[in-house]
Structure 1
Amino acid sequence: MGEARTLGGRYIAGGTNLLDLMKLEVETPEQLVDITRLPLNEIKETEDGGLKIGALVTNSVLAADERIRRDYEVLSRALLAGASGQLRNKASTGGNLLQRTRCGYFYETSRRCNKREPGSGCDAIGGFNRIHAILGQSSNCIATHPSDMAVAMMALDAVVETQQADGHEREIPLKDFYRLPGDTPHIENELKEGELIVNIRLPKPKSGYHVYRKVRDRASYAFALVSVAAIIKTDGNTITEASLAFGGLAHKPWRDPKIEEMLVGQGPRRKLFEDAADALLAEAQGQGENDFKIPLARRTLISVLAEATQGA
């Protein structure tokens, strides 16, 4: 997957995104810093009952881990919905979080792209934008984030642990890790120059029914048009906890706390789910070819909530 920036170059682990970008000369780092021998390939239990996932743990190992499958099922499901088995065997957990957009105009160096070349313009606006964002976009960029894993980790309240170039460590909640495009779409996250993701920490498991729904053009090896990660807990006929995150809709994995607040304390019913979907998409804006994503996202969320509450 795409790796963090270091002085004059890039860190590289699996390289399943970065090498593609280099082949197309979208990325032209002066040097690559191989981090694969760092001791960051373990999944450890934490004192508070959660897990700490080393940044070099591969996606296939993470998805198959018994603790992930049992306690963080939404994450295992999301990982298995992404890429192919071969890519999951190489792709690192840290790199997955940092993979870059799959916008065709970003990959085509002859076209204008503010993410690739700040200030050049955005050919996706008014162009072929079927897979592009309907939430959080700006007049400078309408690209979406491609990760399935990041959507599930957003719903799980994951925390990114990093080490900076000067040796200092810090923790960044995933909800604060990504940036919306605004006027600086080329700045995608809060990492500083030379800063390296070392672990991703998951808090203690959330009880409830886990769903990861990915709507895509084909059943294998396709990025999400819309995806929903949901963890819903009920007590009798009342929703007591709700955690929702969305992929394919925005420049980053999308989470809107007011949707969860609407659900908690309510009894599961179709009208509630419809109101939640309408609230999620109240400010959604299509670009023409991706207008269909708005009703698609609405139907998908309603269906996921129905499944999750019935299962719970």
Structure 2
Amino acid sequence: MSDRFFVALGTSSQVPTRRRNHNGYLVRWNAHGFLFDPGEGTQRQMTTFGLAASEVTHIFITHFHGDHCLGLPGIIQRLSLDGARHEVKVYFPASGQKYFDNLLNASIFHNRAHIKPVPITEGGVIERGEGLVIEAYPLEHGVDTYGFRFVEPDKVTMVPERLKAHGLRGPQIGELKRNGFLETEQGRINLADVSVGGSGQSFAFVMDTRVCDNAVRLAQGVDVLICESTYQDSETEDAYQNYHLTARQAAGIAAKAGAAQLVLTHFSQRYHDLTPFETQAREVHPEVVAVQDGQRVAFPKMKRAIEG
């Protein structure tokens, strides 16, 4: 099993069904657990599908409609009950601060969790670590809503044989990494002359929106796009009126953005068979999966450049 994968904890939209829970999604990214839009029952869904609340390091709330946030109190209280010692950042639209405060203090409990609220006030980079850049941009919904984009920088691996052939060692290698080139008595040595590269992985989370420029921006070139597809083609007008997407529209975003794989979720309770979602989306984008509760999707292996 890859150490980077997506798990659908719940795939229904406003109303849960007998087979589909309210929203809830987790992306395992090495040591990080990114939890998105925990709706009612998310704590139980995690237990059902073999995941622990203590795995969660970040929580992302796209907006404060109930099906995207009413499971937050249970998750926070479970983190406290389990004695999780690490800090958990919770990102959410700043305009929903009062709703976050209400959810955080929804009932009596011994609060030992290390929760760090991070209200989002505008689009852009919201977190930058050594191995990952996280961005958020507003989407077109009936209330303030943000989508999220996660990008791992491209990797550079030094080739010892090439370094030796150029007589490079110690501080020279560090300077070459920092600047991308090194001037020597023999001439300029470029980083590409002594290294091989690999494309970092990326994914985007787009939930509850009409078709809009920022949805494409978030999905630009990602390996995996996790996207709402509340409706099928027959309800295209309903999708527009309710600020949502059809499966075909979600596929259009993926195709325009050049996303490699499209993961569809957030299905209206009116639908029992998910096959038409995949069928309609594949007419626009070839790599599509409409996920069921509990389904896992592994991230592709990192692509390495071919040595010259």
TM-score range, shorter chain: under 0.3
Which structure would you say has the larger Rg?
2
TM-score, normalised via structure 2 length: 0.26
TM-score, normalised via structure 1 length: 0.26
Structure with the higher strand share, 1 or 2: 2
